[in-house]
Amino acid sequence: MNPALNLLLNHRSYRDFTNQPVSDEDLDAIITAAQRAPSSIHAQVSSLIVVRDPAKRAKIAEFAGNQEWVAKAPVFICVVADFAKTQAAVEFAGEKQIIQESLEGFAVGALDAGIVVTTISTAARALGLGTVMIGGIRNNLQGMIDLLGLPPLTFPFIGCCIGHFASEPPLKPRLPVKTFRHDEQWHGVPDKATITAYNTELMDYWKSLGRTDGQSWTENTARRYKVIYNPTTKPVAIKQGFTVEK
Amino acid sequence: MNPALNLLLNHRSYRDFTNQPVSDEDLDAIITAAQRAPSSIHAQVSSLIVVRDPAKRAKIAEFAGNQEWVAKAPVFICVVADFAKTQAAVEFAGEKQIIQESLEGFAVGALDAGIVVTTISTAARALGLGTVMIGGIRNNLQGMIDLLGLPPLTFPFIGCCIGHFASEPPLKPRLPVKTFRHDEQWHGVPDKATITAYNTELMDYWKSLGRTDGQSWTENTARRYKVIYNPTTKPVAIKQGFTVEK
C-alpha cells in the first residue's frame, strides 16, 4: 500500500470530534507543511489565522450557518488571502501594488487559499486527525473580518476544522469519473441517465446515514446556484480593497 | 517517519522530466484521488482536461510563457471550473443557474480548482512522480479555451505537469513562519528586517542553483503586482459568462 495515496483515495469530511486537544507539535507540523505548498509567482500571499479560543470558534460556527463542528473541533484555521503582506513587499521595492484591483488578483487569492487549505487537511489527516473544510465562513465575511482583526487587502476565503474524530463517516459518492475526466478536449456535460443514476446513489447514501434532510445532486446544486449564494462576497471584497474592476 | 506528511514537508516544483510515460494505472489513481477531494456545496464543479498529445502540450508550454517543462512532461492536466456541468444539474431540477454572475461563483471555481490541483500534485508525488503547477496558462486564456474546446461557463484556472523527474531541485526557502501563522488575530505584515533577511536567503538560493535571473521576494512580487498581471482574466471571464457583476 501507498500510505499517502491511500489517504487521498479515502478522503472524507469529519464532523464528529472528541474534546481531545491537537498537540502543539502536530499543529506546528501541519502549518510547516502548509507553508511548503507552492504559491502563485512565489508571492506566498496566503496567511493563516489559527483559532483555538472556544468562544471565537463558537462565533465562527454561528457565522458559518450553525456548523456545530467548528465549535467542537479544538482547532480552526482560517486561510486568508493576504495582499497586505505582498503590499509590504511591493512597497519595500519602491513600487505601488495594484493587483488587488483585478479579477486576476482575487482569483489568485482564492486559488492559493485552495492549495493551502488542501495541504492543511492532508497534513492533519496524515497525523491521524480528522478535518472538514468550511466555506460557510463566506456566509458572514464581515463577521470573520471583525473577529480575526483582518485589515484592508485581506480576505478570508475558507477554513478548516482539525481535531481527533469520534466517528468516521463513510465515503460520499462522487459523480462517475467520465463526468470529471476529459481527454484532450472537453467532451460535454453529464447526460440525463447519468444524472438520474447519481441522484439515486446520493439519496441512498443519505438514507444509509439516516439523514432525512439529504438532497440529490441536482436539487442541492439548484438550491444554491439559482440564487447568488453568499451575496456579500462582492461588496465585502470591494470594501477590503478588491475592486475587481480590471 | 510519516510518509504522507513527509511528502508535504518536502514539496518542491519539478521542472526537469525524462521522456518516460506516466502509466495509465498511475494516471487513473491520480484522477480518482483528485475526484475524492471535497468541493463547495458538493457541487463537484471542477473538471479535468488530461492532455498527453505532444503538439498540444507544446502549444500550452508556449501559452504559459515558454515553460518548456509543459512540453517535456508526458502529462498535463488542466483544472477547469465547469459551471456548464452544474448548469446541467440546475436545469435538471427545473431551475435557472445564475451563480456565474457573482464574484462568489468565480471565487468558488478558483478555490475548488486549487483544492483539486493540490490533490493531483500530492497523489502524483505519492506515486514517485514529479509535478509542477502551471498558473501561467492564464497568460493566454483564450488560447487554452480554443485548444481544449472549452464552452461558455467554463474557465481554465490552473494546470499541473506530471512526469518522471530527471533531477530533484532543492527546497526553495519560504518566508519565516511568523509571517504566515497568526494566532487568534491577524498580527501585521512582515517587518523590514524580516524582509531583508528573506530577500538575502532567496538570492543565496538562486546563486546556489547557478541562476543569475533569480529575483528577491520583493523585486519579484513588485514586478508582477505593480501591474495587472494576466490582464485578460476579467475580459475572458466575462466572455465565458462569468460577469461577476453581483
Q: Mark yes or no for CB contact A226/B95 under 8 Å.
A: yes
Its ipTM equals: 0.99
The domain locations on chain B are 3-169+228-239
Q: Are A51 and A77 in contact (CB under 8 A)?
A: yes
Report the candidate in A139, A118, A134 with the shortest Cα–Cα distance to residue A75: A134
Pick A38's closest partner by Cβ from B13, B116, B150: B13
Q: How far are the Cα atoms of A140, A238, B34, B220 from residue A232, in angstroms, in the given order?
A: 8, 10, 30, 33
Pick A228's closest partner by Cβ from B38, B44, B104: B104
Query: Which residue type, as a one-letter code, is found at position A43?
Result: A
Q: Are A115 and A33 in contact (CB under 8 A)?
A: no
To which H or E segment does residue B154 belong? Answer: strand B154-163
Q: Mark yes or no for CB contact A85/B189 under 8 Å.
A: yes
| pLDDT-derived band at B1, boundaries 50, 70, 90 | confident
Q: Mark yes or no for CB contact B36/A97 under 8 Å.
A: no
Average pLDDT over residues A31-43: 98
Cell of B219: 523585486
| pLDDT-derived band at A90, boundaries 50, 70, 90 | very high
Alpha-helical regions (H) of B37-184:
54-63, 68-72, 83-92, 103-126, 141-148
Report the candidate in B73, B171, B90 with the shortest Cα–Cα distance to residue B124: B73
Q: Mark yes or no for CB contact A115/B114 under 8 Å.
A: yes
Average pLDDT over residues B184-203: 98
Number of cross-chain residue pairs from A and B with Cβ atoms under 8 Å apart: 408
pLDDT at B202 over 80: yes
Average pLDDT over residues B201-214: 95
Beta bridge partners of A181: B48
Q: Please tell me the distance from the alpha carbon of residue B30 to that of residue B143, in angstroms, as a whole number.
A: 26
Shortest distance between the Cα of B101 and any Cα of chain A, in A, equals 8
Residues in chain B with CB shorter than 8 Å from the CB of A10 are 36
Shortest distance between the Cα of B181 and any Cα of chain A, in A, equals 5
Average pLDDT over residues B200-207: 97
Over residues B76-123, the pLDDT tens digits come to 999 999 999 999 999 999 999 999 999 999 999 999 999 999 999 999
Strand spans (E) along chain A: 46-51, 75-82, 130-134, 154-163, 181-183
Q: Please tell me the distance from the alpha carbon of residue B217 to that of residue B223, in angstroms, as a whole number.
A: 10
* Model pLDDT, residue A12: 97
Shortest distance between the Cα of B165 and any Cα of chain A, in A, equals 18
Report the candidate in B40, B90, B233, B241 with the shortest Cα–Cα distance to residue B154: B241
Residues in chain A with CB shorter than 8 Å from the CB of B42 are 172, 217, 220
Cell of B51: 492532455
Q: How far is CA A196 from the centre of its chain?
A: 28
Cell of B173: 526557502
Q: Mark yes or no for CB contact B171/A111 under 8 Å.
A: no
Per cent of chain A over pLDDT 90 is: 99
Residues in chain B with CB shorter than 8 Å from the CB of A1 are none
Q: Which of A46, A225, A242, A245 to mutate to test the interface with B (most CBs of B within 10 A)?
A: A225
Name the CA radius of gyration of chain B, rounded. 19
The CATH T-level fold of domain A3-169+228-239 is NADH Oxidase (3.40.109)
pLDDT at A37 over 80: yes
* Model pLDDT, residue A1: 75
Q: Are B114 and B38 in contact (CB under 8 A)?
A: no
Average pLDDT over residues B183-203: 98
Q: Which of B39, B52, B182 to mutate to test the interface with A (most CBs of A within 10 A)?
A: B182
| pLDDT-derived band at A233, boundaries 50, 70, 90 | very high
Q: What are the backbone dihedrals phi and psi of residue B110, each rounded to the nearest 5 degrees, phi first?
A: -70, -45
Q: Mark yes or no for CB contact B234/A86 under 8 Å.
A: no
Q: Please tell me the distance from the alpha carbon of residue A225 to that of residue A235, in angstroms, as a whole number.
A: 19
Closest chain A residue to the Cα of B195, Cα to Cα = A89
pLDDT at B75 over 80: yes
Over residues A183-221, the pLDDT tens digits come to 999 999 999 999 999 999 999 999 999 999 999 999 999
B122-144 burial code (b ≥16 CB/10 A, e <16): bbbbbbebbbbbbbbbbbbbebb
Over residues A214-228, the pLDDT tens digits come to 999 999 999 999 999
Q: How far is CA B207 from the centre of its chain?
A: 26
